[in-house]
Every structure is written in structure tokens, then in C-alpha cells.
Amino acid sequence: MIALLSMAILAKVICAVVLVQGSANGAKYGSFTGSSVPPSPHVVFIAADDMGWNDISFHNPEIISPHLDELAASGIVLTDYHVYKVCSPTRASFMTGRLPNHAGLHNFISHNDPQAISKHFVLLPQALKAGGYETHIVGKWHLGFFDWPYVPSNRGFDTAFGYMTGAEDYYTHTNGKGCTGLDLTFGVGSNLTAQPQYKDTYSTMMYQGRILDIIAKHDAAIPLFLYCDYYCDMPRIQICTKPPELVTCIAIDSLLQYLVEWS
């Protein structure tokens, strides 16, 4: 069973936290009582940049998202949830548990800006790794990359597949705002390598393929933290026209359908 803990309609980011019941000891999440130690659930966190209040079908029937609707109906929907107005500070709050000003980010990080979350902070994936979790990030980072210690694979994630800047072309995987180089890497630690083989591959389906691969190969005895950061509904929307791929809003919904089936 999957419980949707939050479908938080944010000022700039919509987040779905999905706990997949089960743990290394096989117990079900929520079954502990008294002073017994709860098991560690698998956590899949999905962030979708700039997804608005009416961009989901349980608020707007013109949008098709039946699996998101199902998860919302069986979980908890947060309808009064306030965050910063742009993406980097919001992500900094999520990763540090602090207000953006306290995390040191007041605006989005430009592609040529030598700024990042301070190494003084222990980030969420680092804390989860200390608790025995396997951690992965797929998609957008946008929390600093001007030096190797600040890339996601050196901030607590076992693997990182995605891009460092704020937005990209869906097919070329370049930023295009004075930064024309390929911004798509995969790796661990400081060993991040460019992924030119994905040129002309629609990014939403590319990231979804990586997410499904992680889940399929994951040892269920180890708690999993999977951070999935889509940008498929940002202002630079590019609708996929290559069948059998689907438009972007269906992609996230079909991923959640897979998670339901996986659990």
C-alpha cells in the first residue's frame, strides 16, 4: 500500500511524498506501538516545478491525472502550504529543514553563480544515509555546483542523474541562457560524466526510465530515499510529439501508477 502524505500545492513547487510500506524487517509502516522502534519506510519524493493549483484533476477536470487523484483521496492533501517564491530557496528549505534565509539562499542560483548551500549544513539525504538509507536523485538539483563538494553526489546521494541548473531544453538538455553546454550528468561522488547519448530523448521519459530502473533493481531489505525532481510543467514547456511517449502531465501520473503496482 502507498500513502500519499502530501500533495502540497506550493508557490513554485508541488511535492508528493510517497511512503511505500515495508522495511528491512518486513514490518508494515505504522504497525508499531508504544516504545517499539518503527521500521524505515521507502520514501519517494516527487517535486514538479511550477505546478499550479489548477494543474491537477482533483482541482480542475480539464487535467487528466487519475492516479494522483487516487493517491490524494487515500492520503492527506495539504492545501495551505507556504514556500519561497522561486526554486533554489524552496529546495534549500526542503534539504536543510530551515527557512531560506537561514539556509543562505535568497534567490535562484544562476548558471554562472558561485553559490551553494553551505557545507556546514547536513542535508536530508546525508541524514538518511546515516540512518541506513540508500539515496538517489533524478532530475533537477539547482542547489549549487561551482565546485565538486557541492554537487548532489557529494551531498548525500549515492547516485545522481540529471542537471545542475534551473531549466533545460527537453531534447538537447542544455540551459540555453548564456550556457550552451550539455547539462546532463550521471555518476557518484566527484565522478560525474556527461551523458550525450540522451540528446533528442524527451527528458520526462528519460528521467522516468531511470526512476523505474532504480526501483526495479533496489534491494527491498534496504530503505530507499528516491528524490525525483521533474521540471515538465515549468514555463519552458515542450510537449512531446514522438509516440508512444505521452504529454508531460501523464508521465508523472503513470509513474505513480507504477509505484502503486510496485508496492
Tell me whether residue 173 is one of the annotated catalytic residues: no
Catalytic residue among 15, 42, 67, 87: 87
How many other CB atoms sit within 10 Å of the CB of residue 215? 19
- 156, 131 in Cβ contact below 8 A? no
Q: How far is CA 62 from CA 43, 59, 82, 104, 249, in A?
A: 30, 9, 25, 39, 12
> 193 forms bridges with which residues in the sheet?
186
Instruction: Give the Cα separation of 251 and 238 in Å (integer).
Output: 13
Catalytic residue among 67, 142, 228, 249: 142
Tell me whether residue 15 is one of the annotated catalytic residues: no
Just list the catalytic residues.
87, 142
